[in-house]
Amino acid sequence: MSTKIIINLPSKDVEKAQSFYSALGYSMNPDFTEEDVACVVISDEIQVMVLAEKIFSKYTKREVADAWKVTETILALSVDSQEEVDALVDKALASGGSPVEQPDTHDMHSRSFYDPDGHMWEIVWFDPAGFED
């Protein structure tokens, strides 16, 4: 069995988050999606559980971070080309995401955005030639 990653993110508006991720081309797993929870399917190995803050807070004794005030994590997804980086980030920005100022990087093409809840996503393509000896 392959290892899967399930990312749990708090949300102030699950319906808005679900619409945002759907606009990026991701599907929802209906078995785990309801009023206060949405299961976003990124790939066979990656799912994002978007949980209303009242649900998310049941899983931790710590205060739930406001991602618009602090960066709790940077969620990075790799894609197969520079064009895919640009297309996905452009789609995110057109669908309610916010831009992230970031420095240029060597041997890779990346761009980032904040989702409607302020979580930072980085979309990246690595130049295979940059890793040759």
List the chain pLDDT tens, one digit each, 133 residues. Answer: 789 999 999 999 999 999 999 999 999 999 999 999 999 999 999 999 999 999 999 999 999 999 999 998 999 999 999 999 999 999 999 999 999 987 666 668 899 999 999 999 999 998 777 655 5
Class of domain 5-131 as given by CATH: alpha beta
Q: Where are the alpha helices (DSSP H) in 1-133?
A: 14-23, 53-56, 82-94
Q: What is the pLDDT of residue 131?
A: 56
Question: Residue 97: which residues within 8 A CB-CB, separation 6 or more?
Answer: 20, 89, 113, 114, 115, 116, 121
The answer to whether residues 125 and 78 touch, using CB atoms and an 8 Å cutoff, is yes
Q: What is the SS3 assignment for 55?
A: helix
Give the pLDDT score at 100: 94
Computed on alpha carbons and rounded to an integer, the radius of gyration of the chain in Å comes to 15
Give the start-to-end residue ranges of the domains of the chain. 5-131
- pLDDT at residue 47 in the model: 98
- State the pLDDT at residue 128: 72
**End-to-end Cα separation, the chain, in angstroms:** 33
- What pTM was computed for the model? 0.87
What local confidence, expressed as pLDDT, does residue 127 receive?
77
